[in-house]
Amino acid sequence: MFLEMKVSCIVADPFTDMPVVILNDEEGEKSLPLWVGFEEASAIAMEIKKTPRPRPLTHDLLKNVIAATGYEVSEIEITELRENTFYARLRIKKDGEELLVDSRPSDAIAIALRTGCRIMVDEEVIKASLSVKVGDKDQSAGDILEDIPTEDFGKYKM
C-alpha cells in the first residue's frame, strides 16, 4: 500500500555532512529520510524555493521532454529499499497508456516538484527504513533525525 508524502525539509547528515531529504506524511506521523547527492539536493531546494533559472536544468529538461511528447507525470513512487539503496519510478500517462520509468528517488522527487504530481511511498519502504546502516552501526531513521543538531535544520537553503 502506498502513502502520499511531501518534502518536509533538507538537512545535513551529522556523520557524513551529506544532504538528507525528509519526507513526511500529511499527519506528520511517518517520516522517511533519503540521503541524496549535493546536486540533487540543490535541484530539489531550487524548485521548492522557485529559484529562477536562466536555462533549464536537467530535471526541467526532462519535465519539458515528457510534456512535449504529450505525456504527463501522474505520480512518482518510492518502491523499495534494498541493501541500503532506495528505488523509485515515474508513472507517466498519455491517452490511457501508462509507462513506469525507473528512477533514483532524488531525481523522481525533483521531477515531482516540477510537475506538481504526488510523491507516493510504499509503506513497506517506510518500515524497512526504520533500521538503516550508517557507518559501522545500525541506527533507526528516528535516531538519525534525533542526532541532527537543531542548528543544522535548514542548512541546505530551500
Reported as a single tens digit per residue, the pLDDT across 55-112 is 999 999 999 999 999 999 999 999 999 998 999 999 999 999 999 999 999 999 999 9
pLDDT at position 143, please? 54
Domains observed in the chain: 2-152 (3.10.690.10)
What are the start-end ranges of the E strands in the chain? 2-12, 19-25, 31-35, 72-82, 85-94, 97-103, 118-122, 132-134, 137-139
pLDDT at position 137, please? 47
Reported pTM: 0.83
Cell triple for 13: 547528515
For 137, left (φ over 0), alpha (ψ -120 to 50), or beta? beta
